[in-house]
Structure 1
Amino acid sequence: MDPREEQAIDAAKLYYRLGRSQDEVARALGVSRPTVSKLIQLAKDRGYVQVHIRDPRESAAELVERLRERYGLAEVRLATGPDHGDLLQQAVGRIAARLIEENVHDGDLVGLSWGKTLFAVAQQLVPTARHGVQIVELKGGIPLHSRRTREYETMTYFCEAFDAHPRALVVPVLFEHAETRRAVEADAHVRTVLELGRQAPTAIFTVGAASPDATLFGSGHLSPDDREFLLAHAAGDIFSRFYDDDGRECLPDLADRTIALSLEDLRAKERRICVAAGLNKVRALAVALEAGFVSHLVTDEATAELVLARG
């Protein structure tokens, strides 16, 4: 390496690494400012300097394409920015609301789940002129829960946004005995709502992590044995139906006591819009994608990267 190249490297380090101006570099090296410009250009020409521009738009576009290709998704939308907390929920909710508005049309029958994530989506919906839309609940609720699960408010916001008729499933999602669940499902109103849920071409839902903090775990509806089994074997849940790492519903006894759309019926739907964000949902979301439960995905960049990394 000749002295001129060494001087070019010194100039590049001062300029790029230390952020000095070209005048400051000139004074430090004892050369003129035009000479500094030539030295920097020489460092580039010799390959000692490589300029890398990270455009977050391009990064997001690459993630979108990788997700679409790997899981055969019709559409993917990503939120950028904070990767946790209420700000993340709001960001993802806003993007999901726009996607949903684009996919609800006159006369549509739309299936809807509930949860903190979907309440954040519901709050971001902009009233959109639609006619003849029906919103049908795809799972029962959790009455008398210590936490506010927001199922009523979520349904209300969705119906107001699309001037839709509500088809509410006003029953618990989980019963103590399978016989009780079967008796409730025999009721004409419940049977009608469940059948509408099966017929709906669109399902809007989230995935939940199988963790002690999950809503159903704190509801008092699970026995200690159920909790222990799910924590050991479940990857996550959709509609309070827990699935393992192969995407198969686990704990048959619990499934028999649950009033909600089945995972098989979900997989058969034309549009399966999943909204899920946060690092605690990576495993649940990755399995749901692999199992074919999702056709349209809204998540955040950090979650997307970790989901792809699992493969």
Structure 2
Amino acid sequence: MAIRPAEQIIHKAAWLYYAHGLRQDEVAKQLDISRASVAMYLRKARETGIVNISTSTQLFAEDVLARQLEDALKLDAVWIAPQTEQAADPAAEVPVLAASVFLELVRKGDRIGVAWGRTVYAIADIMSYADLQDVTVVQLCGNLGAPYSYRPDQCTMEIARRLNAQGTNFYAPLVLTTEALARDLRAEPVIREQLASISDCDLALYSVGTVDADSHVVKCGALRPDEMDALRQRGAAGVIAGQIIDARGAALDCSYNRRVISADLKSLAAIPKRLMVVQEDKKFEPLIAAIAGGLCSHLVVGAGMARQLLDHAKTMAG
């Protein structure tokens, strides 16, 4: 499996020092650690063979790919779940890695925003239990009807339960029938305060959805397949926290978005750590849109998606 999240900083320090040629004080400044810590991490990198590229395994190659993606996409951190012959479903490895990454990113007193969907619920379901102090987990968007699996409130409360944290749900539907009704509900003091507090989060956890018949907003009944198709023709590229985004990662100007009760995309982009987790390679275009919109600072993907992203970045740069 890939380098454990707790050890990733060793790899990052070695990458900056040996691959980028930065001095130890420059590495320390970029990683916001002491120079003494850099020296210690470089020593560990040599002792564990991380910098011995000539004898590295595929495991190391995948972590080099992670560092290359960080450089190319200007992301704070990237983790890659490797494709192995032993894994019956390579995509299933992504939530396992993401759950570990997520726990590494959470700090005492953090406020965490959580969206919804199969990937987020899979992360919550596999996450280890932790006893963190003064952590609050908040729902990033309105709720769905009872029959739908992986509802926003389920994802939020399951993660809060795993962290022994306080959970805060949105007591509003995801989509209203009219724009006026949605506007009035957003103006209600409780909902207004909840939406306004999203930018105060320290960490966000979400995935990005497709804009086709398999989209979760179609499957949950928020949009019909023909309505989604029409939005795609108008430039829809992905779905974030129930909202339709265009190729720039901005909210698409459409009636559906004006009827949605969800965190403003600018509020999401203001969260310091925005952990995006993507299992399926078919979500390449939605993920590119989310990255373009500044909605991702930390990324967990599979090896196939990672190579697609790096190839795309090279094409755009060249």
TM over 0.5: yes
Q: Please classify the TM superposition score into its range, dividing by the shorter chain length.
A: 0.7 to 0.9
Does 1:301 pair with 2:285?
no
1:117 aligned partner:
119
Q: 2:239 aligns with which of 237, 240, 255?
A: 237
- Counterparts of 1:264 and 1:144, CA distance in 2: 29
What's the CA shift for 1:265? 1.5
Matches within 5 A, 1:167-182: 167-182=168-183
**How many percent of aligned residue pairs carry the same amino acid?**
24
What's the CA shift for 1:136? 0.5
Residue type matched to 1:80 in 2? P
Q: 1:253 aligns with which of 248, 255, 259?
A: 255
Matches within 5 A, 1:98-117: 98-117=100-119
1:24 aligned partner:
none
- Counterparts of 1:305 and 1:245, CA distance in 2: 20
- Counterparts of 2:236 and 2:193, CA distance in 1: 30
Preserved CA contact (<8 Å) 2:212 2:228 = no
Preserved CA contact (<8 Å) 1:71 1:290 = no
TM-score between both structures, scaled by the size of structure 1: 0.76
Preserved CA contact (<8 Å) 1:167 1:193 = no
The structure-2 alpha-carbon separation of the partners of 1:221 and 1:155, relative to structure 1 and needing over 3 Å to count, comes to closer
What's the CA shift for 1:282? 0.8
TM-score between both structures, scaled by the size of structure 2: 0.75
Preserved CA contact (<8 Å) 2:209 2:238 = yes
- Counterparts of 1:278 and 1:227, CA distance in 2: 20
Preserved CA contact (<8 Å) 1:283 1:307 = no
What's the CA shift for 1:191? 2.5
- Counterparts of 2:225 and 2:98, CA distance in 1: 36
Higher alpha-carbon deviation: 243-252 or 169-178: 243-252
RMSD: 2.3
Unaligned residue ranges in structure 2 (runs of 5+)? 1-53, 314-318
Matches within 5 A, 1:256-275: 256-275=258-277
Residue type matched to 2:159 in 1? F
Higher alpha-carbon deviation: 52-61 or 253-262: 52-61
- Counterparts of 1:247 and 1:155, CA distance in 2: 24
- Report the count of equivalent residues: 258
- Counterparts of 2:126 and 2:307, CA distance in 1: 25
Residue type matched to 1:174 in 2? V
- Show CA shifts across 1:108-158 (max 9, x none): 11111111000111012111121111100001122145x413433322321
The structure-2 alpha-carbon separation of the partners of 1:227 and 1:163, relative to structure 1 and needing over 3 Å to count, comes to same
Residue type matched to 2:250 in 1? R
Preserved CA contact (<8 Å) 1:93 1:120 = yes
- Counterparts of 1:185 and 1:140, CA distance in 2: 11
Higher alpha-carbon deviation: 241-250 or 295-304: 241-250
Deviation beyond 4 Å, 4+ runs, structure 1: none
Matches within 5 A, 1:1-311: 55-81=57-83, 87-145=89-147, 147-222=148-223, 226-232=227-233, 233-311=235-313
- Show CA shifts across 1:199-252 (max 9, x none): 212111110111111111233333676323223221111112111222222133
Residue type matched to 2:198 in 1? G
The structure-2 alpha-carbon separation of the partners of 1:86 and 1:184, relative to structure 1 and needing over 3 Å to count, comes to farther
- Counterparts of 1:302 and 1:121, CA distance in 2: 20
The structure-2 alpha-carbon separation of the partners of 1:160 and 1:149, relative to structure 1 and needing over 3 Å to count, comes to closer
The structure-2 alpha-carbon separation of the partners of 1:276 and 1:86, relative to structure 1 and needing over 3 Å to count, comes to farther
- Show CA shifts across 1:269-290 (max 9, x none): 1111111121111111122123
